[in-house]
A and B are shown apart, each in its own frame.
Chain A
Amino acid sequence: MSEDEEMTKVNIASSADIIAARGKGRELAMKMGFNVVDQTKITTAISELTRNIVTYAGKGEVTIEKAQSETGDKNGIVVVCVDEGPGIKDIGLVLKGGVSTSGSLGLGLSGAKQLMDEFEIKSKPGEGTIITIKKWLRRR
């Protein structure tokens, strides 16, 4: 199977899309041999980030695929969430958790960061947000 076939893109605009994206994430994580706890963490992180897209940006997309670390010694999964929504003014504050402008628990971003091994965010007010999260397979 080529690498391309391992890449999934889901357009996000509604709660049904969130469920679809989670399903794709779970599927790939399972196929790659992540244990149930890590599968659940990955799926939950995808849910948090895509939920943010629906709530704040209205629409966007998520890409889920296999990843390899720069040193080539780790394999894992990478999820990229892109939207052209309002962006985030104070990323530091949001990442602390417990802050919400939508009446939610405010755990989305901080939670996704906590659940994954790597977390990168680029956001500009008025332009949108790109969030990349990664989880590595644990070697036995």
Chain B
Amino acid sequence: MDIPILKIEDFLVVTIQSELSDDEISKLQEDILLRIKDVGATGLIIDITALDIVDSFMGRTLSNVAATAELLGAKTVVVGIRPAVAVTLVELGIRVKWNVNTALNLERGRKLLKQLIGAEQRGGVS
């Protein structure tokens, strides 16, 4: 299954529409990085509204994608975490190690990205 990676201005938007197997996750990870490089994206939004579960493996994957995208010069925001998923992630204890920016929805995610990028350009800490 190919997961579409859309480009809006300088940002890429990836919407994960169903639960992914490990192979699909690695492929997506690779595709995202290639696209970031190809289009010179400065931001990446990963929309996980459709996911009714995020386990520690998926959590780590998202954080790895964010870390690698950062090395290519793109900031990442994960949007659409469901309330039940949020409760579960906190109990799972993921907050301590999870260094990922999040926003409620796509619109706020875009705003947050612009802030993050703006802060960096001004030389501030992001």
List the interface of chain A (C-beta within 8 A of B).
14-16, 19, 22, 26, 36-37, 39-41, 43-44, 47-48, 51, 97-98, 104-105, 107-108, 110-111, 114-115
Q: A36-B84, A37-B88, A114-B92 are in contact. Are A44 and B53 (CB under 8 A)?
A: yes
Q: B96 interface residue, CB < 8 Å from A?
A: yes
Contact residues in B for A14 (Cβ distance below 8 Å): 21-22
Q: A39-B84, A41-B88, A104-B57 are in contact. Are A111 and B21 (CB under 8 A)?
A: no
Tell me whether B96 and A40 are in contact (CB under 8 A): no
Q: A107-B93, A110-B93 are in contact. Are A15 and B87 (CB under 8 A)?
A: no
Q: Pick from A40, A51, A111 the residue with the most CB of B within 10 Å.
A: A40
- For A16, give the chain B residue with the smallest CB separation: B21
10 shortest interchain CB distances as A-B pairs: A15-B22, A47-B55, A111-B92, A40-B84, A107-B56, A37-B84, A15-B21, A36-B84, A105-B56, A40-B88
Smallest beta-carbon distance A138→chain B, Å: 14
17 more A-B residue pairs beyond the given contacts A37-B83, A37-B88, A40-B87, with a C-beta to C-beta distance below 8 A: A14-B22, A19-B21, A40-B84, A43-B53, A51-B55, A51-B57, A105-B56, A105-B59, A105-B94, A105-B97, A110-B93, A111-B91, A111-B92, A111-B93, A111-B94, A115-B88, A115-B91
Consensus secondary structure, chain B interface: helix
Binary interface encoding of chain B residues 83-126 relative to chain A, with 1 for a CB under 8 A from any of its CBs, else 0? 11101100111101100000000000000000000000000000
Smallest beta-carbon distance A49→chain B, Å: 10
Tell me whether B53 and A15 are in contact (CB under 8 A): no
Smallest beta-carbon distance A131→chain B, Å: 15
Tell me whether A104 and B93 are in contact (CB under 8 A): no
Contact residues in A for B22 (Cβ distance below 8 Å): 14-15
Smallest beta-carbon distance B13→chain A, Å: 24
The count of chain B contact residues (Cβ–Cβ below 8 Å) is 24
In whole angstroms, what is the CA distance A97 to B1 when docked? 34
Pick the residue among A16, A41, A48 that contacts B56 (CB under 8 A). Answer: A48
Smallest beta-carbon distance A119→chain B, Å: 13
